[in-house]
Structure 1
Amino acid sequence: MEPLKIYIAAPRGFCAGVDRAIQIVELALEKYGAPVYVRHEIVHNKYVVDSLRAKGAVFVEELDEILSDDRPVIFSAHGVPKSVPEAATQRNLFYLDATCPLVSKVHKEAILHEKRGREILLIGHAGHPEVVGTMGQLPEGTVNLIETVEDARTYTPKSDKTLAWISQTTLSVDDTKAIVAELTERFPDIVAPHKDDICYATTNRQEAVKAIAPKCEAVVVVGAPNSSNSKRLREVALRSGASKAFLIQRASELNWDELSGITTLGITAGASAPEVLVEEVVDAFRLRFDVTLETVRTAHEDIAFNLPRELRTATSAAE
């Protein structure tokens, strides 16, 4: 077999927010029994969603798909517009909020800016659940979406209010810097977040890819096609020196024609992808190449988020 050096990026895979969201579904099933409803994919990963479905989770896009009012419903890690918990309360549904605390931080920033009379710009991708959730914290038209440097260059303020910017947590660090630079040049008094809105996990995973990409002919990102942070990892790999980069959900999606003849490969995983899928990809390469593995670590992560109060008793009992 041909030799292949694989550089494995670290950190990779699950972040604290994803880990917490999955735990919330598993503990709710343990405490309340099946079915437990989940509005939207709990995280953007088919393997994770299918695993939870097999345990009794029922995934819906909207609350009106839930016919029973006596079962728990969980809101996904991406966050939801204010109208969703309001609708749940009107129906007397018992709900658990699995919104990542770092997304909730952005929600609070938006609300605070509005209270202080600022015009709010949200840097993000239209239609992404996190963006829908953040814009939905305030009345329609209050939050203005900026997707590109061109948007920042051409944005016309709606009023003479002070501007403030916030961002989606899973963006490209470099793209966001370019957008913020344009906004700051045009509007020197624009108010920035006290602490960067792009989450630690997104930043760390992109830095790790930047470290391995220049050494690699190809980079494989394990993640879902609708996962913003996974798509950004593929883009970062290409910009950082990899000739090819692929976003795949499972090893079965690997394109061996595209990978023939390579001698160096990088592997990473988006924040919603479990380590078992990374191992599956490595094993697939071992079947075709004489593999040598090297982990390239650029940061250590030890962050954990608290579970909702209602489920803390379930974890104590489990321990």
Structure 2
Amino acid sequence: MNHSDKQKRQIDLLVAAPRGFCAGVDRAIKIVELAIKKYGAPVYVRHEIVHNRYVVDELKKLGAIFVEELDEVPDGVPVVFSAHGVPKAVPHKAEERGLEYLDATCPLVSKVHRQAERQTQAGRHIIFVGHANHPEVIGTFGQVADGRMTLVETLADVEALQPEDPEALAFLTQTTLSVDDTRAIVEALQTRFPNIIGPKGEDICYATSNRQNAVKEIAKSCELVLVIGAPNSSNSLRLVEVAERGGAAAKLIQRADEIDPAWMEEVSTLGLTAGASAPEILVREVTDRLEEYFDIREKNIQTADENMTFKLPRGLEAS
């Protein structure tokens, strides 16, 4: 007897909103699509345009070729820089080689880059709150001269800081961090260095904060939260942590086929969200898969409205 013969068990599904694509991801994907339309295939992309396998595979079908370094891009073809931002040396190198490039860096990341330049020009040493080796962190460090910025990941890192001039410090943060963790680290920095200068607004982007708040809201009522996202996606990993702190179990999945119905044995209310680089089509794929096994009652839990859009680079406006 297969699972469709017997009465399906009912599960309440709380779908977090906002979820999925943010404006920066949306813009980055459009830039690749429009570049292929304008220049013809292939268009090279340095680093995964956004951290999502499905999105990358769809763009490959259109004629995008993904490489890790500029050296892998042949002469005479256009190259797109990913949404996470790149060190300054990368566009310089592209210009030296006469490559046509399009910068798909999220405008909110670019804002952090400009703040980094301003603070170092003002003679301050920057304490940067982020995750080592994340492309966004590498890109931001590459905006200033070596030695002008120090990375902190934990409260212990803050305690261990020995700046040359404790009176000439500034801090910035990666845009995809956990709002709560970052708040604790920033408070520790301000306690240790009362004159440290922070950014005027919040560096953590609106989409990251909104998605975390939405997960906090649904986690209260769920035994398990599924987060659709990539294992190398910082904002998706943070959503898993937020769900767990909210008292739910949480699992990161890339696609519906990773779901094991056995996970739901003790679950009467299931939560679902998607990281900022996961398309809505994957959310639908997951709900379809769940409906094969269970009688799903789906409810959208909206905690914020998003209507942010970012302008496309000049010369690429959708024609």
TM-score by length of 1: 0.97
Q: Which runs of 5+ in 2 are unaligned?
A: 1-7
Say which of 248, 254, 258 aligns to 1:249: 254
In the TM superposition, residue 161 of structure 1 has moved relative to its aligned partner by: 4.5
Aligned residue type for 1:38: V
Number of aligned residue pairs: 312
Give 1:172-187 correspondences, 5 Å limit: 172-187=178-193
Q: Which residue of 2 aligns with 1:311?
A: 316
Cα separation, 2, equivalents of 1:125 and 1:54:
31
Instruction: State how far apart, in whole Å, the 2-side matches of 1:211 and 1:124 are.
Output: 25
Stretches of 4+ aligned residues off by more than 3 angstroms: none
Aligned-partner residue type, residue 220 of structure 1: L
2:295 is aligned, of 280, 284, 290, to 290
Rounded Cα–Cα distance in structure 2 between residues aligned with 1:280 and 1:260: 21
Whole-angstrom CA distance in 2 between matches of 1:184 and 1:294: 41
Which residue number corresponds to residue 5 of structure 2? Answer: none
The correspondence of residues 129-140 of structure 1 with structure 2, limited to 5 A, is 129-140=135-146
Report the equivalent of 2:120. Answer: 114
- AA matched with 1:229: N
What does residue 50 of structure 1 align with? 57
How big is the shift at 1:259?
Answer: 2.3
Q: Which residue of structure 1 lines up, in the alignment, with residue 268 of structure 2?
A: 263
Q: CA deviation at 1:142?
A: 1.1
Distance 2:156 2:303 in 1: 32
Query: 2:83 aligned with 1:77, yes or no?
Result: yes
Query: In structure 1, which of residues 29, 35, 38 is the aligned counterpart of residue 36 of structure 2?
Result: 29
Secondary structure at the aligned position of 1:183 is classed as: helix
Give the CA deviation at 1:160: 4.7
For 1:134-283, list aligned pairs within 5 A.
134-242=140-248, 244-283=249-288
**Cα displacement string for residues 154-176 of structure 1 (whole angstroms, at most 9, x for unaligned residues):** 21112355110000000000000
1:35–1:56 CA contact under 8 A, matched in 2: yes
* RMSD, matched Cα: 0.8
Tell me the alpha carbon deviations over residues 233-275 of structure 1, each in whole angstroms, 9 at most, x when there is no partner.
0000000111x10001001111322222311100000000000
Per the alignment, in what secondary structure is the counterpart of residue 225 of structure 2? strand
1:102 corresponds to? 108
Q: Give the Cα–Cα distance (whole angstroms) in 1 for the partners of residues 160 and 218 of structure 2.
A: 36
- The letter of the residue matching 2:231 is P
Structure 2 CA distance for aligned equivalents of residues 198 and 230 of structure 1: 14
User: CA separation in 2, counterparts of 1:195 and 1:86?
Assistant: 29
Tell me which of 20, 27, 39 is aligned to 2:27: 20
Task: State percent identity of aligned pairs.
Answer: 59
Distance in 1 (alpha carbons) for counterparts of 2:54 and 2:293: 24
> Secondary structure, in 3 states, of the residue corresponding to 1:141?
coil
**Residues 119 and 161, structure 1, Cα contact 8 Å, conserved in 2:** no
Q: Kindly state the Cα deviation for residue 276 of structure 1 after the two structures are TM-superposed.
A: 0.3
- Could you report, residue by residue, the CA deviation over 1:2-34 in whole angstroms, capped at 9, with x for unpaired residues? 110000000000000000000000000011100
Find the aligned partners of 1:122 and 1:237 in 2 and give their Cα distance: 26
The residue type equivalent to 1:57 in the other structure is A
Residues of 2 paired with 1:66 and 1:299: CA distance?
Answer: 41
- Give distance in 1, aligned partners of 2:164 and 2:300: 49
Q: Deviations over 1:162-217 (max 9, x none)?
A: 11000000000000000011111111111010000000000000000000001000
1:9-63 Cα shifts (integer Å, max 9, x gaps): 0000000000000000000001110000000000000000000000000000001
Instruction: Give the unaligned 5+ runs of structure 1.
Output: none
Write the distance in 2 (CA, Å) between the matches of 1:16 and 1:145.
27
TM-score by length of 2: 0.97
